């Protein structure tokens, strides 16, 4: 169950880390294009500054309405001075003022429309860029590293976390806008009264310091959300992957209970945090009100300002206060979502550091003429001297144009050999030679162009059989698909109601295991590989189908080199050479005919066990039963 492996919350972000991350977000936003960045910030600031303009116009309108009994029909602007500027000698009638309000609102709406389109585009470009980088990093990371990550972790990073990063980028812009707004209003207040402006700044700084515990709490909540969401993803992934087994053994209740536990935890954390955040916001509000009261008192008694100055200052204060509140709220929101930014970047950096150079550079190489040789190869999946070795001093050769078989008990290292020869992993000791030489990273990319690899659990897309077949050979014609289907003994396709256009379901769930394997095999053959790796690729087929596949593989001719890994004789008997692996070493090697003559040899024993643990003569029986000609 996923609960044992549940990601634990990390340490909350410190103020320094958060500041560093916000700078990272700003610099990444600027990387999208400086002009775009400043335009976005400008648009946000403008819209926040104009939001009250239409309300301001209501004041003269109310004035006219209030005076209308006395015959006033217009407001006279002439001769007034605002902030040292003399207004033109004009009077505005009620219709003009009302039209101005409507026009201003229309303008604002138009501006907001343009702004939101622009911002949405920018933020999507920003998050898609991060998503693309991470996706590419996953695609290009070394197999031995990327295969260590939990699938749900990568999925979570690429979907859920990226959505939180979108919030991070938006909130960062709003925070900058808020700070810019505060700076503008402070500049205005400095013109009126420097001491009172200093008071405002001092008060703001004090409030900011006092709110620290609430920001710490937000940071802690951010890490809790992070861990909880990871657990949710992991639990869902485990549940869906094991749904069939769970349902068949009444195990779904455990999954449901585990999922509910996680949701309850998330609810509890969120409620606790929101209570705390609301307390913080309330305190902040009260503090601001107290500050405003003190401000008025000091302005009148201490600074001795004129009423008109106090009114203007208060107006500024009224616009400053929500911005202070906004900045505090945005900081808390950032502290909650920044762990997603951190996590995605940490993951991307780890994957980029493990980049496989063979993944992106592909240099075509000549087909094998001689063969592949493993010379004294050792491979460990884990690091450190005590880590168990999957292969130890393993030596074998796969001659070009022939069929080589690997047999051996489960865990003996067969698939590790397949991963080595397909270039997914590289030997830690010993040499892996292709036509007598080791391949460079970009040549390994070229080598993989010639490979078709069919594992036991092939992956099929949730698409039609046709789309699945064309996934690796987009140019394949209908006739070529038919040939591949015949070779893979997959004629069952013709009996399906929609033939090649039949949908196979999620991961091919609408097909039987054997049918899935046959489609995967047909797909591999359609690629016309020069090197074909069959890793238990026909394990789910009946003996007659296996026999047909074996014949088709044999008929590929000496243009194709084949490595077959199997526990069943039908997929081994046609091999020119058979290697038996035991605990990562070759313990038996030779032509299959020769090996079969040794009744105590591994190959003969494997065939006997296939017959159900028979005696020496049993091996001969099974060969006949399975339609195998060797030794029969």
Beta bridge partners of 564: 405, 534
List Cβ neighbours of 22 (8 Å cut-off, separation of 6 or more).
172, 175, 334, 338
Q: What are phi and psi of 427, to 5 degrees?
A: -60, 145
Place of tokens 């930014």: 341
CB of 457 to ligand ATP, least distance (A): 10
| DSSP strand pairing (389-399 vs 403-408) | unpaired
Write out 441-459 in H/E/C secondary structure: HHHHHHHHCCEEEECCCCC
CB of 136 to ligand ATP, least distance (A): 22
**144 versus 337: smaller Cβ distance to ligand ATP:** 144
**407 versus 469: smaller Cβ distance to ligand ATP:** 407
Decide if 394 contacts 376 (C-beta within 8 A). yes
Region of 489 on the Ramachandran plot (φ > 0 left; ψ -120 to 50 alpha; else beta)? left
Distance between CA atoms of 453 and 529, rounded to whole angstroms? 9
**218 versus 566: smaller Cβ distance to ligand ATP:** 566
CB of 478 to ligand ATP, least distance (A): 35
CB of 416 to ligand ATP, least distance (A): 3
**390 versus 481: smaller Cβ distance to ligand ATP:** 390
Decide if 347 contacts 165 (C-beta within 8 A). no
Q: What are phi and psi of 619, to 5 degrees?
A: -60, -40
Alpha helix segments (H runs only) across 141-251: 143-146, 151-156, 162-192, 194-210, 212-241, 243-248
CB of 596 to ligand ATP, least distance (A): 21
Decide if 63 contacts 75 (C-beta within 8 A). yes
CB of 387 to ligand ATP, least distance (A): 9
Decide if 381 contacts 390 (C-beta within 8 A). yes
Region of 538 on the Ramachandran plot (φ > 0 left; ψ -120 to 50 alpha; else beta)? alpha
Decide if 364 contacts 52 (C-beta within 8 A). no
**204 versus 413: smaller Cβ distance to ligand ATP:** 413
**38 versus 381: smaller Cβ distance to ligand ATP:** 381
CB of 572 to ligand ATP, least distance (A): 13
Region of 426 on the Ramachandran plot (φ > 0 left; ψ -120 to 50 alpha; else beta)? beta
**415 versus 619: smaller Cβ distance to ligand ATP:** 415
**362 versus 409: smaller Cβ distance to ligand ATP:** 409
Distance between CA atoms of 22 and 166, rounded to whole angstroms? 13
CB of 158 to ligand ATP, least distance (A): 21
Distance between CA atoms of 616 and 407, rounded to whole angstroms? 19
What own/partner pairs with CB < 8 Å and gap ≥ 24 does 144-149 have?
144/381, 144/424, 144/425, 145/350, 145/351, 145/354, 146/351, 146/354, 149/347
What the block records as the tokens of 259 is 């999922």
Say how many C-beta atoms besides its own lie within 10 A of residue 152's C-beta.
20
Applying CB under 6 A, the residues found at the interface with ligand ATP are 147, 381, 390, 408, 410-416
Closest CA to 528 of 476, 573, 581: 476
CB of 413 to ligand ATP, least distance (A): 4
CB of 560 to ligand ATP, least distance (A): 22
CB of 533 to ligand ATP, least distance (A): 12
**379 versus 447: smaller Cβ distance to ligand ATP:** 379
**405 versus 526: smaller Cβ distance to ligand ATP:** 405
**189 versus 415: smaller Cβ distance to ligand ATP:** 415
CB of 255 to ligand ATP, least distance (A): 25
Q: What are phi and psi of 323, to 5 degrees?
A: -70, -40
CB of 138 to ligand ATP, least distance (A): 16
3-state secondary structure of 71: coil
**66 versus 151: smaller Cβ distance to ligand ATP:** 151
**12 versus 413: smaller Cβ distance to ligand ATP:** 413
């Amino acid at each position: 169950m996923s609960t044992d492996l549940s990601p634990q919350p990390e340490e909350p972000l410190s103020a320094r880390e958060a500041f560093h991350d916000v700078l990272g977000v700003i610099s990444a936003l600027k990387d999208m294009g400086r002009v775009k960045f400043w335009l976005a910030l400008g648009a946000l600031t403008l819209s926040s500054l104009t939001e009250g303009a239409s309300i301001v116009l209501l004041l003269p309108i109310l004035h006219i309405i209030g005076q209308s009994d006395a015959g006033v029909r217009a407001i006279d602007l002439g001769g007034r001075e605002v902030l040292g500027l003399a207004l033109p000698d004009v009077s505005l009638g009620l219709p003009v003022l009302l039209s101005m309000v409507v026009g201003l609102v229309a303008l604002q709406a138009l501006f907001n429309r343009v702004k939101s389109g622009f911002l949405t585009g920018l933020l999507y470009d920003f998050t898609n860029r991060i998503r693309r980088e991470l996706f590419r990093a996953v695609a290009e990371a070394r197999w031995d590293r990327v295969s260590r990550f939990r699938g749900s972790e990568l999925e979570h990073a690429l979907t859920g976390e990226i959505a939180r990063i979108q919030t991070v980028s938006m909130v960062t812009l709003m925070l900058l806008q808020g700070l810019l707004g505060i700076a503008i209003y402070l500049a205005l207040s400095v013109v009126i009264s420097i001491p009172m402006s200093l008071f405002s700044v001092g008060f703001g700084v004090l409030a900011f310091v006092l709110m620290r515990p609430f920001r710490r709490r937000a940071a802690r909540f951010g890490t809790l959300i992070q861990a909880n969401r990871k657990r949710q993803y992991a639990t869902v992934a485990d549940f869906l992957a094991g749904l069939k087994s769970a349902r068949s053994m009444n195990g779904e209740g455990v999954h449901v209970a585990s999922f509910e536990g996680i949701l309850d935890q998330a609810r509890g954390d969120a409620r606790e945090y929101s209570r705390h955040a609301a307390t913080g916001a309330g305190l902040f509000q009260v503090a601001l009100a107290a500050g405003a009261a003190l401000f008025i008192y000091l302005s009148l008694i201490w600074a001795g300002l004129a009423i008109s100055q106090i009114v203007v200052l208060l107006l500024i204060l009224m616009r400053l206060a929500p911005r202070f509140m906004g900045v505090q709220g945005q900081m808390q929101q950032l502290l909650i979502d920044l762990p997603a930014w951190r996590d995605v970047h940490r993951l991307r950096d780890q994957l980029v550091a493990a980049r496989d150079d063979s993944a992106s550079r592909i240099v075509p190489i000549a087909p094998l003429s001689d063969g592949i040789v493993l010379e004294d190869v050792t491979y460990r999946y884990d690091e450190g001297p005590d880590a168990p070795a999957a292969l130890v001093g393993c030596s074998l050769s796969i001659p070009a144009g022939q069929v080589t078989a690997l047999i051996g008990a489960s865990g003996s290292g067969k698939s590790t050999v397949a991963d080595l020869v397909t270039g997914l992993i590289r030997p830690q000791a010993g040499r892996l030679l292709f036509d007598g030489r080791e391949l460079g990273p970009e040549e390994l990319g070229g080598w993989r162009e010639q490979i078709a690899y069919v594992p036991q659990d092939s992956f099929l897309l949730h698409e039609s059989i046709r789309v699945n077949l064309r996934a690796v050979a987009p140019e394949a014609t209908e006739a070529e698909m038919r040939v591949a289907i015949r070779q893979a003994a997959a004629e069952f396709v013709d009996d399906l109601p929609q033939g090649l256009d039949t949908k196979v379901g999620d991961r091919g769930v609408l097909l039987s295991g054997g049918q899935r394997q046959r489609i995967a095999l047909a797909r591999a053959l359609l690629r016309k590989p020069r090197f074909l790796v069959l890793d238990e690729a026909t394990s789910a087929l009946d003996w007659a189908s296996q026999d047909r596949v074996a014949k088709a593989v044999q008929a590929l001719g000496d243009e194709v080199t084949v490595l077959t890994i199997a526990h069943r004789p039908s997929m081994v008997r046609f091999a020119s050479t058979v290697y038996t692996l035991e605990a990562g070493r070759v313990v038996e090697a030779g032509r299959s005919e020769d090996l079969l003559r040794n009744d105590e040899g591994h190959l003969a024993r494997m065939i006997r066990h296939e017959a159900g643990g028979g005696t020496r003569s049993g091996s001969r029986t099974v060969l006949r039963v399975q339609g195998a000609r060797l030794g029969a």
